[in-house]
Amino acid sequence: MESILRDSDAEEAAATPKVGNAWYIPHHGVYHPRKPKKIRVVFDCSAKFEDSYGGKKGTLKGNPRNTACECIFFGGASSPGCANYGMNYLASKYEKDYPLAASFIRKNFYVDDGLVSVNSVEKANKLVNEAQEVLAKGKLRLHKFVSNNREVLSAIPESERASLVKDVI
């Protein structure tokens, strides 16, 4: 949680919220087998509360910290809509400087998957760069690129390409 606060993904709430106006999201730490010294906080946005599991009621353990989140928690029912709203907001905000990316983000995305066909390598490369720049302004990383054109793929760093894609060209 300290890194979430430090990175401004959440902030300490100014006051204790009124009863009924707060949502406490259970969370726990998870270690990746290849990164045993790095813990990742996982929020359980689909957790049930009050009689949702055969009469068992959820309880808060310890003294919960009241924080206001500055990011989207994926896994909640509203997450896809929130993600689309945020991406469309960025597209509108930066449309003047990035018109190609703004159009792509608004018209060719479903949640976090974008799909578009363009008529030149130059336009594809410009689109990739613009879209990454626009979304980075909102702390979103656009990656896992796939293309049927080797020249387009070669302009994208390997770390930003999709992995385990069969060679179909």
- In this structure, are 62 and 84 located in the same domain? no
**With bands split at pLDDT 50, 70 and 90, how would you rate the model's confidence at 88?**
very high
Residue 168 maps to a domain: no
- In this structure, are 91 and 48 located in the same domain? no
- In this structure, are 91 and 42 located in the same domain? no
Q: Position 110: which residue type?
A: Y
Helix axes 121-136, 79-93, angle to 10 degrees: 110
- In this structure, are 59 and 85 located in the same domain? no
* Averaged pLDDT for residues 41-70: 61
Residue 153 maps to a domain: yes
Query: Quick one: what percent of the chain has pLDDT higher than 90?
Result: 39
- In this structure, are 85 and 53 located in the same domain? no
pLDDT digits (tens, 9 = 90+) for 106-122: 999 887 789 999 999 99
- Element spanning 39, H or E: strand 35-43
pLDDT digits (tens, 9 = 90+) for 1-35: 677 778 777 777 777 767 666 666 777 788 888 88
Segment among 39-43, 123-127, 142-146 with least mean pLDDT: 39-43
